[in-house]
Amino acid sequence: MSQPTTDTDTDIDTATRTAVAAPAVDHRPPGLARQVQMMVWRNLKHTRRQPEMLTDVTIQPVMFVVLFAFVFGGSIQTDSSSYREWLLPGIMAQTMAFASFIVANGLNMDLEKGIIDRFRSLPISRGSVLIGRSVYGIIHSSIGIFVMSITGLVIGWRIRNGFVDGVLAFLLLLLFGFAMIWVGILVGSAMRSPEAVNGLMFTTIFPVTFLANTFAPTEAMAPVLRTIAEWNPISSLVQAMRELWGNVPPAPADAALPLQHPVVTSIAWSVLITAVIAPLAVRAYVRRTTD
Amino acid sequence: MTITTDARAVRERFTGPAIEAEHLVKRFGDMTAVDDVSFSVPQGTVLGLLGPNGAGKTTTVRMMTTLTVPTSGTARVAGHDAVRDPEAVRRSMGLTGQAATVDEMLTGRENLRLIGSLYGLPRAEVRRLSSELLERFSLAESGDKVAKEYSGGMRRRLDLAVSLIAAPPVLFLDEPTTGLDPRSRVELWEVLSGLVRDGTTLLLTTQYLEEADQLADRIVVIDHGRVIAEGTALELKDQSGQAAIVLTVSHADQLEEARALLASHVSEVHVDESARQLTAPADGLSDMTRVAAVFDRSEIVLDDLGLKRPSLDDVFLSLTGHRAEQDAGGQTEAPAEQTTHQGESR
């Protein structure tokens, strides 16, 4: 390379002055919506290249339905006329709880690979990575909800209380998914490897989805367990969906307070989880990406 | 965006250094990774940041490119302060990090599209630029293959292409050729030289003295977070150790005669009989021309006569007491550079 003090000095000077004076990045930076759209596009491409990424919202919940509806179902007594109809909202809530899994895994893998550094070196909003992940998480889980609805219709689950209540139940489910995404961002940012993410999520979220009214009624549980299960955010969500869809009569009078007012409690839980976890999640992410 | 008008006004008038580091310090806990590093890179030139693994090169680049906030000191790119106006810095520069930062599950073309769109380039332009860049980096045929299937060299080239899609006037390259085979390395050098010809300002870090020698106008040698030398490759070579005249005699029986002749003009002569070679310290080219003239007038037949300057390797050795490419020795203070990227180096 030539030394800067040759007679080509003037040429170089003119060339570079134009270069620095007129950067090609002279367009308006894209809005947040466009940034998020590109992040989601990227994740959807990943899913298309690796369809097996979808097993957690297709084969896995269907397998749970089959296992519980046909293997354990016969021996579980519920207040619904049909265990299958009773079971389905539970599995939907579980599927949505696992949205945190998806977000945590994806975010952690990105952090591991250094592509986050690439994004951070771009003139884009810092939030777009997280929002993109979250939107994708919701899309991913919604595929699961769709698959579950179809499976449910096949095995005898129905929406019996009309359109508005039916939609409200789905909205509660989405709201819960939104709260769980923050859990995913927190875990994905805090853990040092995808294996650690899997280990932690499997030993926490997984049992939490069982210690509830998802697969078996809480009434039959030991008193302490029953109280815990009935205060579990998943229980109020599941009870709300069951009532809104007309799958069960209202909860018995001796059930804990949340189950007496499941819709309100479910909203409150989602808001509370978001309010507590979101700041922690953002802090963990910022800490992970600055040093 | 609020920055646009201001930043553009500044940028249009801006003729100062493209990159400036002033007393940069970065501490991680008790460990000082970068310790008072200053340098300045004029527009359109190449600065090589040379040092062994763990010397603080990556941390310095991360501070310059807004990825890490300095503990103290100032980093400026195209006149913008990396701490006060990171957005403007990000709009003026491209970064190719040490760990290849392409999306492995996307094709080469999709990677370009992703980053191009995030820069806000119109879709048609992204498409045109992507094809152009793939062509230029010999990736046209693999443009629609998933990056996971790329070789190391291809991935590096894609990484660089992605950094270039918005044609940033300033480019940071952190060990751009680490892990590449010699052929890919030379290819990448050619691409980089082309960019500089077109007016791009380059800061590249490297452990390879040869690379700094080839590409950089100026070299900053850094070790244990401190700048230990600075200058052109030539200056650095002059600074450490002397040049030598090396002379090879054609006929062994003329060796003694040649030694006597040479000894009458220089202070000291070293004889290597088996190679029929004489070596004498020289101050520079003038000594060498003088010696050439003397032998030209004599009857002695020479195979070769040349001036041997110390290599940058010798320079590094004399500056630091250890070789640049020998990583393991100076590794003990390295970890901080690695904390944020797992798997960044071998």
Angle at B321 between CA B320 and CA B322, to 5 degrees: 90
CA dist., res. A230 & res. A219, Å (int):
9
Minimum CA–CA partner of A50 in chain B: B105
Single-letter amino acid, residue B213: D
Minimum CA–CA partner of B4 in chain A: A28
Token readout for A266 is 């479910």
Minimum CA–CA partner of A49 in chain B: B105
B119-134 per-position pLDDT tens digit? 999 999 999 999 999 9
CA dist., res. A231 & res. A138, Å (int):
25
Residue A95: closest CA among A195, A266, A238 = A238
Residues of A in Cβ contact (< 8 Å) with B215: 1
CA atoms within 13 A on the CB side of B29: 6
Q: Are strands B170-174 and B226-231 parallel, antiparallel or unpaired?
A: unpaired
CA dist., res. A19 & res. B200, Å (int):
7
The whole-angstrom distance between B174's CA and the closest CA on chain A is 12
Residue B299: band (very low, low, confident or very high) from pLDDT cuts 50, 70, 90: confident
CA dist., res. B311 & res. B233, Å (int):
9
Which residue among A12, A23, A28 sits closest to B92, beta carbon to beta carbon? A23
Cβ <8 Å between B169 and A35: no
**Is residue B230 predicted with pLDDT exceeding 80?**
yes
Is the Cβ–Cβ distance between B121 and B166 less than 8 Å?
A: yes
pLDDT at B191: 86
Cβ <8 Å between B14 and A291: no
Mean pLDDT of B211-238: 89
The whole-angstrom distance between B55's CA and the closest CA on chain A is 17
The whole-angstrom distance between B226's CA and the closest CA on chain A is 20
Report ipTM for this prediction.
0.81
Terminal Cα-to-Cα distance of chain A (whole angstroms): 35
Residue A202: exposure state from Cβ atoms within 10 A (0-12, 13-18, ≥19)? exposed
Residues of B in Cβ contact (< 8 Å) with A38: 114, 117-118
Cβ <8 Å between A114 and B341: yes
In our burial notation (b when 16+ CB lie closer than 10 A, e otherwise), range B195-234 reads bbeebbbbbbbbbbbebbbbbbbbbbbbbbbebebbebbe
Token readout for B288 is 């060498």
Chain centre distance of CA B210: 9
pLDDT at A27: 56
Minimum CA–CA partner of A40 in chain B: B114
Residue B71: closest CA among B106, B44, B34, B40 = B34
pLDDT at B10: 43
Between helices A194-210 and A163-190, what is the axis angle to 10°? 140
Is the Cβ–Cβ distance between B36 and B23 less than 8 Å?
A: yes
CA dist., res. B194 & res. B173, Å (int):
15
Residues of A in Cβ contact (< 8 Å) with B214: 1
Residue B13: closest CA among A183, A43, A22, A94 = A22
Token readout for A198 is 């899997």
Residue B313: band (very low, low, confident or very high) from pLDDT cuts 50, 70, 90: confident
Cβ <8 Å between B105 and A38: no
Cβ of A194: how many Cβ atoms within 10 Å? 17
Q: Is B198 touching A (CB cutoff 8 A)?
A: yes
> Chains A and B: how many Cβ contacts under 8 Å?
162
Dihedral Cα A20, A21, A27, A33, nearest 10 deg: 60
Cβ <8 Å between A118 and B95: yes
B160-180 per-position pLDDT tens digit? 999 999 989 999 999 888 878
Q: Name the strands in the sheet holding B277-282, side by side, starting at the edge strand that comes first in the sequence.
A: B270-272, B277-282, B243-249, B302-308
Which residue among B69, B91, B339 sits closest to A23, beta carbon to beta carbon? B91
Is the Cβ–Cβ distance between B60 and B204 less than 8 Å?
A: no
Cβ <8 Å between B101 and A123: no
**3-state percent helix, strand, coil for chain A, nearest multiple of 5:** 75, 0, 25
Residues of A in Cβ contact (< 8 Å) with B166: 23-25
Chain centre distance of CA B138: 22
Tokens 């003038």 belong to residue: B286
pLDDT at B233: 85
CA dist., res. B126 & res. B109, Å (int):
10
Q: Helix or strand or coil: residue B111?
A: helix
The whole-angstrom distance between A290's CA and the closest CA on chain B is 6
Cβ <8 Å between A20 and B43: yes
User: What's the DSSP call for residue B168?
Assistant: -
pLDDT tens for the 291 residues of chain A, in order: 444 443 434 444 444 434 443 444 455 678 899 999 999 999 999 999 999 889 888 999 999 898 888 888 877 888 777 898 999 999 999 999 988 888 999 999 988 887 888 999 999 988 899 999 989 998 999 999 999 999 999 998 999 999 999 999 999 999 999 999 999 999 999 999 989 999 999 899 999 999 999 999 998 899 999 999 999 999 999 999 999 999 988 888 888 889 999 999 999 999 999 999 999 999 999 888 876
CA dist., res. B211 & res. A212, Å (int):
63
| Beta-bridge partners for B308 | B244
Single-letter amino acid, residue B267: S
Is the Cβ–Cβ distance between B247 and B278 less than 8 Å?
A: yes
Cβ of A10: how many Cβ atoms within 10 Å? 8
CA dist., res. A52 & res. A48, Å (int):
9
